[in-house]
Each structure stands twice: as structure tokens, then as C-alpha cells.
Structure 1
């Protein structure tokens, strides 16, 4: 009997995939925690290892270089052994890198810390290359972007806890002015720097143990295999053939600039806030950063449901335009107003990574994993943009001018969103 009642939209997460979705979602939390702690390490290593802003930004270079190097091997591993094996390998590298922090602090060598961060990032590159496409195909195509935004919401939880953990257990709260440091003897300075370097040992050993426990849990859980419809199956192509899809290529370029902007803003937020509101201590500013990242989580939870009413590309365009304005305010204004503008950018960054990712791999079918590898490689933007911002600050002076670089990056995101909207109107 005919009916005029429209069919109910598919659920964001189907019940049969709920357990797998929940476990993979914990991975989003785990890599967010590692990335957020980097923003605290930048400040801590400036003290513990006597680094400039440009030198300390190499933390992000080592970290996101690991992502870049891991992406293609991760895609090949998925094709041969599947998502679960790739996730377990990634967790193994993550734990190994976290445990390396203990000897790195003992020898107080920045290069050893960078190696540990690189190993962690290799693991996270495998995790992200597997988890993002797995979530996007773990249900109906129509809800892929909303589902990925929902999973990425738990990235926000890890991002919030990172600065809190860093503020409580990594940042000592002991700060010395250049004059006070000059007044110390060489032995006193060495003792102080040794104690500052040692603060990272406990938190990272704890993270390594937690990651090992998560790996055991995932190893003992059965993951559902995803069978694509016959219409989506294609002949086996070269790994690089996926780059014939123009939208994917645009998404890769856009993700490069987006990740660079995100990492740059968060990396220097503590320094920025300290210069604009010097009455705040470093721990207070770390907690302020945590509050900003809470807005990221709010934005992702709300974004997952807003995208059922607003086209993902349209919402992406609106949020990118908002961040262009906010970064412009951080560049041109000063004091608490500038800090507030930069603080609010996290809300509008919220949907960007998952939405760019979902739009990039849309309709790739059996080439989804290959496309995912290139999108994860584009995270190398997080290795290159923050050092550029640090150089701008060191050469020109101050932290205001450096925020013009993220503003330009968000303009690239806006351009991508506009192009996708035009494409979908055809």
C-alpha cells in the first residue's frame, strides 16, 4: 500500500557495530591525549632544556613527521592484514615511544625526546590511517561525516585532559626570570633543569601502560568485517591511482593547511596568553588551553548532529570564515580580548578535520584506505607550519604576527568548502 511518509534516516551508529565503534572511539581519545601534551612539552622544554620558541617547535616537527612516514605503510598493512592488525601495531609503537620518555629524561637530550615523540607518532599514524576510514564505512554512507564527527568528539575529551595532566604533572609551576637564572650558579641551574626534565617520566610511563592494556582489550575483541556492495567494488588499482580523484587531492592539500593551523594555534597558545595576560601563571594558562579544547569537544558533538540538518561542506565554510575573523582579531588586538579570540578558535576548528576527511574519501569505494593514507600524510602540515610561526615570532618579535599564518590556512579550508558546494550543485 503506497504511503507518503518519508523513510526514517539511518542511525549514525547501527547497533550491530556499537562495540567496534566504541573501541575505535577510545583510540581517538588516546591520540588526542598525546597530541595535546605536546603543547605543554613545548613550554616545559623551553625551561628544562633551555630552548627558543623555534627550537621547541621541533617537537611538533618530529611528531607530525612520524605521521607522514607512517601513512603509506599503514595503508598497505590495512590492505594485507586488515584494520585490527594495523590498530594493534600502532598501539605497540605508541607504547614504545611513551616508555622512551623515561631514559630521555635521564640523559636530558632533546634529540632523544624527539625520537620518542617520532615513535609515538608512527604509532598514531597507523591508528589514524585505520580508524578514520573504518569509522566512516562502519554504517550508512549518508551518515559517514556525522559518524566521524561523533567519534572525533572523543578526541576533544583527550585534548581537554592533555593540558590538565600536563599542568598538574608536567609543568612544575616553578618559573625563573632571565635575571634570576643569571644569578644562579651553573650547578644550581643544572639541578633545576634536571628536576624540570624529570617531570615527564611518570605521566608518559603511565600512558604507556594504559596503551598496552587497551591493546590487550582490542586483541581479545572481534571486529566486524565490512563488506561493500557489489556496485562499489572495482578492479585492483595501483596504490597511487587514487590521486586521480580531484576532490581527494584538494582534501589532502586542505588537510595539510588545517592541521598546520590547529597545531600552530595550540602549540603557541600558552606563550600567546602569557604575553597578553602576564598575571596568569603557566599552570593557569595550561588550564585555560584545556578550556579551549573543551570547546572543540562541544563543537564536535554539536557538529555531528548539525550535519544532519546542514550540508557538511556548508557548515565547514561557515566555521572556516569564523576562524579567519578570530585569528585576525588575535593579530590586530591585544590583551585579554586577543586571548579570548584565539581561545574561541577551537570551537570552530571542531568539525574541520573529520569533515574534510569524510568529504575527501566520499565515493572512493575500495580505494577508501588508499585515500585515507594520503589524508593522514597531509598531517605533515603540523610539522611545518608551527616552525614557520616560531621563526616569524623570533625574527619579527612577539607572538601577534605569527597568528596571521593560521588565518591564511583557514582561508584554504574555506576555499575547499566552497569548491565542494559548487561540485554538489552540478
Structure 2
């Protein structure tokens, strides 16, 4: 599937006072990475909560991630067109507004206790986050030297992981505070958390509307003159990598509470398990800070391949063992997941130049993997058992390691000849 946008971005040469201005811009953008990490990780707590409240199977519960990440597939192309026409900063403000609307829709969904309305609210919320992704990811990559784009995006993504580390405590406290698990849950407890999120998102929208950020000019081009994205093989392979990585990461996070609650693993209540998820996402946060430094010295593709192999080993340990060994092996996956999304993203759009905005739209389309892979793992979990089902996300990392070593370099010859 191809994406066609009506504009592309061009980077302006930095002025002498640019470093301070760029620093302010990157500082402000970290708040966005924090917020969408926080929102996305709340789904990991919402899944077991609504699974109990509505007596859902694993497959039915994974419709939460299907609707949330399915929005990326539906909204990414129009979001790319929107950002190309109104600019990165206004795109950020629009994304925050739509995400706030999605949070507000949780209140009527909880009032009438309809699972389908929760899924609609999640779709709208994710649509706003998609606009933020399409705006902020390429903006961070463009704001600075191309050779340090991976490091820069990894550093801002570290604050995304800070959001995912804090979210389990927030969600677990508010959703499981009275029962300890979902057995006596109803849908009403989600009202307060998502009203708080709506207020925070609206406040950020006002702040970003008033900030003076560096302007990346968008140059209009005729549709017929656009370079086909298939001319960038590393971009296409990167999109597959994003699909599999997001799918695997979301699958693991979605099933972690249920995995840790199993008697042969840790036998935790869901309130306790929700707090342990912070170790998973906290590892990702630490790994991103480490990765931002490491990739200043070591090739980003090699770091990506190494981390992919380590994740495969850890998941296999979790599948064939019980008790604390299985628990900590799966939680340790977060540390090695840390640098994958920003590294795949920056390697995939490397050398695209004027087509970076369109390439970003394609990569955000690929985030639909977060809708597909968890749903498939839910089917496997219902039929073959939860622990064995983790083999499915483990298989995704085979391609990711290949992309780091080989696929990310597929476009180098083409780039040299253009």
C-alpha cells in the first residue's frame, strides 16, 4: 500500500542562535513523548480490568489494542497530509486536541457500561496520538545533524518510556485500588483517570499553540512528480520492521499482567502485577538513555541486531521456565526493546530528504502491527495457553535483527546513484 502526500519538508540551515532554539524545541517535544507513552501503557492495565468487567476472552480483550493501533493504519495517511499542509507545530496542537476528545469519551462509555463505546473512545484517542507521531517523530529527526538523528530520537523516546514507567502505578492505583484484581470490577473506575488525562492534553495543546518553535518549511509539489516510496527499499523493510516490532512490544505488554498472575509464574494479584510492569517499561527507559550514548560510537544497525537476538533469548527462557526465572526474563525484554522503535524509524527514513514526511506516514501506517500481532497472540493464548503464546512475538524479532544488519543498508546503493 502506497502513501501519497501533497507536500514535503525541507530543512533550513541552522543560524548561529539556532542551538538554543533547538534545545527549547527538543525540551518541549519530550513532553509529547512522555504523554503518548503514558497513554499507550495505560492500555496494559485497561485490558485485564475490562477483561474482568465484561467477562472477555483473551481474543476479545485484545480488541482494545486492535482499535487503538488500528487507528494508526486508518489515520496515518490523512495525518501526513494534514501535517504537510499546516506544519509540524499546528499538527501537534491538532493531535493533542483529538486525543483529549478521545479521553473525554471514556466518561459516557463508563456511564452506560458498553464495551463497544470504550473501543470507539480508544480509536479517537489513538487518532490524536497518530497525528502527534506523524508530527513529532520526523520533526525531532530533522531538528539537528542527520548523522545523530538516531541518537536524538532515542533520547526523546526515553521520555516516552518514562511515561510508560509511571503509567502502571497510576493505572493500577486507580483501577485496582479497591479490589486488588478485576473480579469485582465495573467500568466506572476509568472515569477519573481519563478525565485527568483529557485536562493534561488540553493544557499541552494550549502551551504548544503559544510556543515559538523552529519552522520547517513545507514546499508544495505536484503529485505526479513525487518519487515512489518503493525507490527506497530500506524504507519498505523498515516499515515491516516497525509493524513487527510494535506488534511484538504491544503483545508482550498487553499480556504481562495476566502472565504474572498465573500460579506457575508469580501468582500475583493484578494490582501487584500492574506495579511489576513498571520494571518492564523502566528497563526500556534506562535502555534508551544508554542507547542514546552507545549509538554515538557504535553503528545503530548493529546495536539493533544485538538487541533483537537478546530479546529472542529472553522470551524463550520465559516460555520454557516457571517461577521467578520466567517472570524476570520477560520483564528484562523491556531493556533490549528500548532502542528499537526510534532506531528502526531513523534508519528507515535516512537519506529520504524531501520525502521524509511521506516516509514517516508510511512508517506510522506500519504501527498497525500493534493491532494485529496482539490479536493473533490472543487467539494462540485461548487455544494453546498464555505462556506458549509468547513464541509469536519472539518470531517477530528475527526480521528486526535482519533489518539492523542487512535491511537498513538496502537503500545505500540507490542513494549513492541519485
Q: TM-score, normalised by structure 2?
A: 0.90
Aligned counterpart for 1:154 among listed residues 135, 159, 169:
159
**Matching of residues 6-405 of structure 1 within 5 Å:** 14-172=19-177, 174=179, 192-193=184-185, 196-226=186-216, 241-275=228-262, 276-396=264-384, 398-405=385-392
Q: Distance between the aligned counterparts of 1:28 and 1:360, measured in 2? A: 20
3-state SS in 1 of match to 2:268 = coil
Can you give the 5+ residue segments of structure 2 that lack an aligned partner in the other structure? 1-17, 414-418
Are the structure 2 counterparts of residues 235 and 213 from structure 1 closer, same or farther at C-alpha, using a change threshold of 3 Å? closer
* Alpha carbons 2:134, 2:361 under 8 Å: kept: yes
Change in Cα spacing, 1:88 to 1:374, as seen in structure 2 (3 Å) is: same
Residue 16 (structure 1) shift: 2.6
CA distance in 2, matches of 1:279, 1:255: 33
8 Å Cα contact 1:234/1:366 also seen in 2: no
Structure 2 CA distance for partners of 1:408 and 1:157, relative to 1, 3 Å: same
Q: CA shift at 1:345, angstroms?
A: 0.3
Q: Deviations over 1:291-310 (max 9, x none)?
A: 21111000001100100111
1:4 aligned residue: none
Does the C-alpha gap of structure 1 residues 36 and 342 become closer, same or farther in structure 2, counting only changes over 3 Å? same
Deviations, residues 67-105 of structure 1 (Å, cap 9, x unaligned): 111111111112211111111111111000001111100
Could you say which structure has the larger radius of gyration?
1
The 1:422–1:226 alpha-carbon spacing in structure 2 relative to 1, beyond 3 Å, is: closer
Structure 1's 324 and 173: CA in aligned 2 closer, same or farther, altered over 3 A? farther
Q: Does the 8 Å CA contact 2:138/2:356 hold for their aligned counterparts?
A: yes
Preserved contact between residue 173 and residue 282 of structure 1 (Cα < 8 Å): no
CA spacing shift, 1:176–1:87, aligned 2, 3 Å: closer
Provide the rounded CA distance (Å) in 1 between the counterparts of 2:412 and 2:86.
39
Q: Deviations over 1:110-166 (max 9, x none)?
A: 000000000000000000011000000101111111000001000011001111111
TM-superposed CA distance for 1:176, in Å, is 7.6
Is 1:415 the counterpart of 2:402? The answer is yes
Unmatched runs of 5 consecutive residues or more in structure 1: 1-12, 182-191
Q: How far does the alpha carbon of each residue in 1:229-266 deviate from its partner, in whole angstroms, 9 at most, with x for none?
A: xxxx9965556722321000000011100000000000
Q: Distance in 1 between matches of 2:99 and 2:56?
A: 25
TM-score under structure 1 length normalisation: 0.89
